[in-house]
Amino acid sequence: MSAVIDIQGVEKTYKRRIKALRGVDLSVGQGEIFGLLGPNGAGKSTLVKIMMTVISPSKCTGTVLGEKIGDKNTLQQIGYLPEHHRFPAYLTGRQVLEYFGAMSGIQRKQRKAKASELLELVGMESWHKDKLGSYSKGMRQRVGLAQALMNDPKLVVLDEPTDGVDPSGRRDIRNILSHLKDEGRTIFLNSHLLSELEMVCDRVAIMVHGLVRTQGTIDELTADQSGFVITTKEPIPEHASSELNSLSLPEQAEQTSADTIAFKTDDATKVQPAIDTLRKHNIVIQSAGFKRPSLEDLFMQVVSTDHGDKPGAISGARSSKKGAKS
């Protein structure tokens, strides 16, 4: 799998003060849906804008579609949906597509055909004659997405594509993304909405404060934290707990809190002795099962451990706090 995006050490300092990116390394393979997530202000949009030549990096090596970043001709093969876009309000949906298609150098005839095709794809065919000024946020987002596809891009870059879109619209957009992936396009998307990414992304990277903390498939990222977890109704008493420890249970059973024991194994038979022990002490088991952290858990871990320490590290500690830092 050749890398569509392969960048190292991207740095960006705005106006000599704000360090938005502090050395980002990223690699996106051909044909995958890659999700970049991070709290507001992490620098996601900044990274995308650098790839799209909207802003210039302070420091950057690497390639997009095999060409150096900043190369204008490569843009012909990239589709881009900016965050907070404002397409001309005096244009109709169809005119927006044709205008940006023309800016990508598409010939008139192809433009017309492609615009019709895409309006149907994003479900805007019945609104194509209305001016953008009369569209809702979700409709504009759909047209924006269609606009990004006018040039038949090999790489589609979407900055917060589901921003302001209602749940059914989000599902539509997810379906479109899967459709694009089936067509063999690579998709790079930015979001702070984790469940969105979890559903569609092949690989994700988590960015905090201008650094990519971790990247990989969701399975890879969550592998060392998934396993069997037993929770009890009451806190486990001291004597039961010490007996459990003496059992020499497999895969480093770990009591993560007074009423929870986690096992780093996916083999159910190996945890039965623990259940036996707990039951022997008449402890009520609330739940027992295989648990894998969600993207949100992972995300919260990364965000909460961001104290400017070395990038790429995930510590095992869990935080129960919710809400993104910005």
Partner 1 sequence: MILTQTTAIFLDAYRELNAKKLFWLTLGLNLLVVVLYASLGINEQGVTLLHWKFQNEFFTTDLVSKELFYKLQFTSWGIPIWLSWATAILALVSTASIIPDLVSGGTIEPVLSKPIGRVRLFLTKYLTGLLFVGLQVTIFSIGCMLVMGIRGGAWEPKLLLAIPIVLAFFSYLFAFCAFVGLMTRSTIAALLLTMLFWFAIWIVNVGDAMMIAQREGSILQVEDAQADIEKQTTFANKRIEQLREQGKPIPGEDGDELTNGYTDSLEAVNPALKLSRSRLQTAQEGAETWTNWANRVILVKTILPKTQETVALLERYLITQEEIAVLMGMNEEQAARMNRNEDEPAFADPRAPARVEEVMRKRSTTWILGTSFAFEAFLLLVSCVVFVRRDF
Ligand X SMILES: Nc1ncnc2c1ncn2[C@@H]1O[C@H](COP(=O)(O)OP(=O)(O)O)[C@@H](O)[C@H]1O
Q: Interface with partner 1 by CB under 8 A: which residues?
A: 14, 49, 52-56, 72-76, 78, 80, 82, 84-88, 90-91, 95, 98-100, 102-108, 147
- Please report, in angstroms and rounded to a whole number, the separation of the first and last CA atoms in the chain: 35
Binder of residue 110, out of ligand X, Mg ion, partner 1, none (CB less than 5 to 8 A by kind): none
Shortest Å, Cβ 80 to partner 1:
4
CB of 30 within 8 A of CB of 15? no
Q: Which stretch binds ligand X (CB under 6 A): 13-21, 69-77, 105-113, 164-172?
A: 13-21
Q: From the list ligand X, partner 1, Mg ion, none, which binds 20 (C-beta under 5 to 8 Å, kind-based)? A: ligand X
What's the CA gap between 254 and 225, in Å, rounded?
Answer: 11
Percentages (nearest 5) of helix, strand, coil residues in the chain = 35, 25, 35
What SS3 state is found at 189? strand
Least Å distance, CB 51 to ligand X, is 12
Name the phi and psi angles at 111, rounded to 5: -60, -50
Task: Give residue 70's region: left, alpha or beta (phi > 0; psi -120 to 50).
Answer: left
What residues between 16 and 75 interact with ligand X by CB under 6 A?
Answer: 18, 20, 38, 40-46
299 close to 208: Cβ distance less than 8 angstroms: no
Least Å from the CB of residue 137 to ligand X = 18
Q: How far is the CB of 214 from ligand X (least distance, A)?
A: 16
Are the C-beta atoms of residues 178 and 185 closer than 8 Å to each other?
no
Draw the binding track, 78-117, toward Mg ion (x: CB under 5 A; -: no contact).
-----x----------------------------------
Binding site for ligand X (CB under 6 A): 14-15, 18, 20, 38, 40-46
